[in-house]
Structure 1
Amino acid sequence: MRVRGSGGRRARRLVVAGALVVAGVLVAVPAGVRKAAGVAGADGAAMMAGADGVAGPGGGAPRVPADGPPADAMTLPAPTGRYRVGTVALHLTHRSRTDPWAGGQTHRELMVSIRYPARAGAGWYPPAPQLSVREAAAFDARNNFSEQVPPGKVQWAATRTSAHAGAPLAAGRPSRRWLPVVLYSPGVGDPRSFGSTLCDELASRGYAVVTIDHTYEAPAVEFPDGRLARSVLATELSKAQKSGRVTELLKKVSGVRVADARFVLDELAERGAASPVPAGLRRALDLHAVGMFGQSAGGFTAAQTMHDDRRIKAAVNLDGVMGYTQRDDDPANPSTVGREGVDRPLLLMGMAGNTHHTVASWGAVWRHSTGTWLRDLTLRGSRHASYTDAEALVPQIARRVGLPRTKVTALIGTVAPARAVAAQRAYVSAFFDRWLRGRDDGGLLDRPSGRFPEVQFVR
């Protein structure tokens, strides 16, 4: 795991001005759209209803289309699936767990978002920003690009995702739960929205994708009441290095992340008034078809959570070390998933040079996972950040601020960004289609494909 610089009840969701309240879920809405839609603040909050007449994403559409992006906005690749994408944000409090980063008796709080397939009219709902203004300011001050992109050069808050806040859920099969569920865990130092390209893609293909902010790891997490939880990891890492307790810190980070993911699964399974999920969406979730993926430490989190929790049926690790070390080739301090392997499908996708032959923790998982489906794929010419939205954003940043080519390749490698994005979309989608839906991928996951010469199968 690289660190750079279950059960319980939840609190009731808070009500704040400038939000739609969807079955207890707050969905931020820009002021202009609130006015156009006839939605007030806390005193006039609207409960939106799904197509089946119960609380769910969507309802009466705003009477004006969502505003266009700001002139200085960067863009993310549009999804290619058949559906538009909607999103709701959930504020969850784990009443039976104190927050190990906050100290005292503070309960662990999370912000998560659910991306889901939406109706064709989703474009009338506001596109969700990748980061709020305050989260963007914290991200600008400290992020995984800081060595190449100085603070103040990029308007991070201007980037919008392809997901539309509160858009109505697409029409599905009322008699069955038709949405497989996929959890997403970001890398250390990244917000939950920094995998939006892949998450929005999966939602456009008919998945409910639940993205998790690991509070006090992300640069900042903004809660509905305005509180901002800033990252403590730079301070924690400095203390751990001075005291020789880096391994203990890495174990703590991993343990907190896995507990977060398992708690989110618990919350998704809640029913009735106890559930934080809008009823229309909740009724569509297939919690017998749950997968998980993540980048870097998020990939480790996905594999470790699958090892620990049988509710996860399949997992994807995007270039994440799966041991308590900061070196790829270090076999010391293995995790339990490294010592014991997995017994359900696991896809490893690494940057150039990272395989189960070169990354010690990958090799350990590979050796100890017997009788199950495993694949190890390399995206030629890629770097660690290629498996995040950086692949699409860094070229735009480079043009705007004049980054030299050497800095661009240090961040995202030499693979053409459009090809990198297309390959990731194809293989991650095919993986979950195969193992959560039982669909035929035409052998894409079984052998090299002429469609994607950038992808190498590692034997």
Structure 2
Amino acid sequence: MGKVKARVVRRKGWAIGALAVAAALVAVPVGAQMAAGTGEPAASPGRGAASVGTPDADARTAPLTLPAPTGAHQVGTVSLHLLDRQRGDPWVAGQAHRELMVSVRYPARGVGREAEADAARAPGQYPVAPQLLPREAAAFDAWNSFFEHIPKGKVDWAATRTHAHQGAPVARHRGRLPVVLYSPGVGDPRSLGSSLCDELASRGYVVVAVDHTYEPPGVQFPDGPVARSVLPAEMARAQKTGRITELLKKVTAVRVADTRFVLDELEKWEKSEKREVRGKQEQRVRGGLPALPEGLRGALDLRSVGMFGQSAGGFTAVQTMHDDRRIKAAVNMDGVMGYTQRDDGPSNPSTVGLDGVDRPLLLMGKEGNTHHTVASWGAVWEHSKGWHRDLTLRGSGHAGYTDAASLIPQIARRLGLPRKAVTETVGTIDPGRAVAAERAYVSAFFDRWLRGRDGGLLDGPSARYPEIRFVR
């Protein structure tokens, strides 16, 4: 086969793209549509315009920005290296243990205005966390699977900052804090969900985002090495041998196992003992448990655990809820829930498709994706006995449920990219409105089912969010 122009197939819920390399066709996950947030207004090109504005500078001259969270709390974060000694790595032969990186976000104190008012606190004691570490950013740029329009080396992916402060102490609270896990799309780093994770933390949740090692372009571990993605090679092998279905099943099984292991680790944290040391409460770290920011250990309510994700991460959330009773509610943002590359394909159903779920489920789809058009959604919808809703974000694209909704318009404006660079990835919806709607409905869902707080937003259409369509 001759060399084929690189392309991505963004309509797939599994977000599997295709990239021709030399003579071999290698499918690469785009689910990624990797990037992050907007703090800037959307570009508004005229109808039929060929590009989104005029290039105003190399994107390296001004970091891309993510929208600030709107909850009552500042946000703290810590990144943790977890080692599963009960499981060999499923992607790398001979690697005896599965290693993961997770980011934990939580409501924090001692930052922002509080820190400024505390003269004893050293400036910058809790710096704002970057979205991607330097080596992760370099790997991300090298893969560059967003779309063919972004030239390598034109975006400083390491310069973007989240709104979470590293190591800040947990905000004072009554009772324990509900927990929400996040799983990204196939090939995406966990950091592509930073904005929504920051938002939930600012509203009083502990949010744990998981990197599924050897899927993203690069996962950076504390001692320096970067685990590079094996998915392009795995997809090429699966295409050659006709085992695509088996590969999709393996990806899901690994992700679910990763998530259940993280839940096990959270339970270990909560069971660790406390002791008095020099008049202060200090955590006793036992059995390799990580050192956590002040107030985090013992703060988790593991009876109130939810999960959400985008693309394959959404499938992971619902499949994990099916397999593990510890997950009480799940949100699937535009993820196909079967082992197929066709949204409308009913073949090779998952167990959650065959059985449904008996706990609350929220489906949020891009324009055109509903339980009437996505076969695996229809199967889950038909067989589920628990509360469930299906919402469409009007005018949205598949990557619009990630930080790409904010980042791509910024990149397009600065580099003078064609309009389709934006619309084919995140859709035609204004990015600010997309972010606001996603925050509102995901927060309302978890507030209702993890906290017992129901503001009625999920009962029917709202004039505040006309972008959301309830699918019956």
Structure-1-length-normalised TM-score: 0.83
Q: CA deviation at 1:71?
A: 4.8
Contact 2:169 2:296 in 1 (8 A): no
* CA deviation map 1:386-438 (0-9, x unaligned): 00000000111011111111221111111010000000000000000000000
Q: CA deviation at 1:345?
A: 0.2
Contact 1:294 1:318 in 2 (8 A): yes
Given residue 102 of structure 2, which amino acid in structure 1 is its aligned partner?
Answer: V
2:371 maps to 356
Given residue 448 of structure 1, which amino acid in structure 2 is its aligned partner?
Answer: P
1:446 maps to 459
Contact 1:4 1:189 in 2 (8 A): no
1:426 maps to 440
Q: CA deviation at 1:150?
A: 2.3
| Structure 2 unpaired stretches of 5+ | 1-13, 19-59, 116-123, 273-285
Contact 2:128 2:163 in 1 (8 A): yes
Give me the whole-angstrom Cα distance separating, in 2, the residues matched to 1:147 and 1:342. 39
Give me the whole-angstrom Cα distance separating, in 1, the residues matched to 2:83 and 2:16. 25
Given residue 403 of structure 1, which amino acid in structure 2 is its aligned partner?
Answer: L
Contact 2:143 2:217 in 1 (8 A): yes
**2:149 matched to 1:168?**
no
1:39 maps to none
Give me the whole-angstrom Cα distance separating, in 2, the residues matched to 1:226 and 1:145. 26
1:250 maps to 248
Q: Which of 203, 206, 210 does residue 205 from structure 1 map onto?
A: 203
Give me the whole-angstrom Cα distance separating, in 2, the residues matched to 1:319 and 1:191. 17
Q: CA deviation at 1:120?
A: 4.7
Q: Percent identity?
A: 72
**2:469 matched to 1:456?**
yes
1:48 maps to none
Give me the whole-angstrom Cα distance separating, in 1, the residues matched to 2:110 and 2:72. 10
Contact 1:90 1:277 in 2 (8 A): no
Give me the whole-angstrom Cα distance separating, in 2, the residues matched to 1:286 and 1:4. 39
CA separation of 1:451 and 1:84: change in aligned 2, threshold 3 A: same
1:414 maps to 428
1:95 maps to 85
* CA deviation map 1:60-119 (0-9, x unaligned): xxxxxxxxxx85211000000000000001100100100010111421000001000001
| Structure 1 unpaired stretches of 5+ | 6-69
More off after superposition, 99-108 vs 233-242 = 99-108
Q: Secondary structure at the match of 2:65?
A: coil
Contact 1:79 1:200 in 2 (8 A): yes
* CA deviation map 1:367-386 (0-9, x unaligned): 0112x100000000000000
Which residues of 2 match residues 360-375 of structure 1 at below 5 A? Answer: 360-370=375-385, 372-375=386-389
Q: Secondary structure at the match of 1:282?
A: coil
Q: CA deviation at 1:144?
A: 3.5
Give me the whole-angstrom Cα distance separating, in 2, the residues matched to 1:111 and 1:338. 29
Given residue 194 of structure 1, which amino acid in structure 2 is its aligned partner?
Answer: L
1:156 maps to 157
Q: Secondary structure at the match of 1:312?
A: coil
Q: CA deviation at 1:172?
A: 1.5
Which residues of 2 match residues 286-365 of structure 1 at below 5 A? Answer: 286-365=301-380
Runs of 4+ in 1 over 4 A off after TM superposition: none
1:269 maps to 267
Given residue 163 of structure 1, which amino acid in structure 2 is its aligned partner?
Answer: A
Q: Secondary structure at the match of 1:398?
A: helix
Give me the whole-angstrom Cα distance separating, in 1, the residues matched to 2:235 and 2:435. 32
Give me the whole-angstrom Cα distance separating, in 2, the residues matched to 1:250 and 1:292. 21
Contact 1:212 1:261 in 2 (8 A): yes
* CA deviation map 1:138-163 (0-9, x unaligned): 11111441323121111111000000
Contact 1:73 1:159 in 2 (8 A): yes
Given residue 233 of structure 2, which amino acid in structure 1 is its aligned partner?
Answer: T
**2:221 matched to 1:223?**
yes
Structure-2-length-normalised TM-score: 0.81
Q: Secondary structure at the match of 1:338?
A: helix
Q: Secondary structure at the match of 2:247?
A: helix
Given residue 111 of structure 1, which amino acid in structure 2 is its aligned partner?
Answer: M
Given residue 105 of structure 2, which amino acid in structure 1 is its aligned partner?
Answer: R
Give me the whole-angstrom Cα distance separating, in 1, the residues matched to 2:110 and 2:417. 39
Given residue 206 of structure 1, which amino acid in structure 2 is its aligned partner?
Answer: G
Contact 2:393 2:434 in 1 (8 A): yes
The alignment's C-alpha RMSD in Å is 1.4
Contact 1:83 1:120 in 2 (8 A): no
Q: Secondary structure at the match of 2:68?
A: coil
Q: CA deviation at 1:439?
A: 0.1
CA separation of 1:71 and 1:120: change in aligned 2, threshold 3 A: farther
Given residue 133 of structure 2, which amino acid in structure 1 is its aligned partner?
Answer: S
Give me the whole-angstrom Cα distance separating, in 2, the residues matched to 1:172 and 1:450. 33
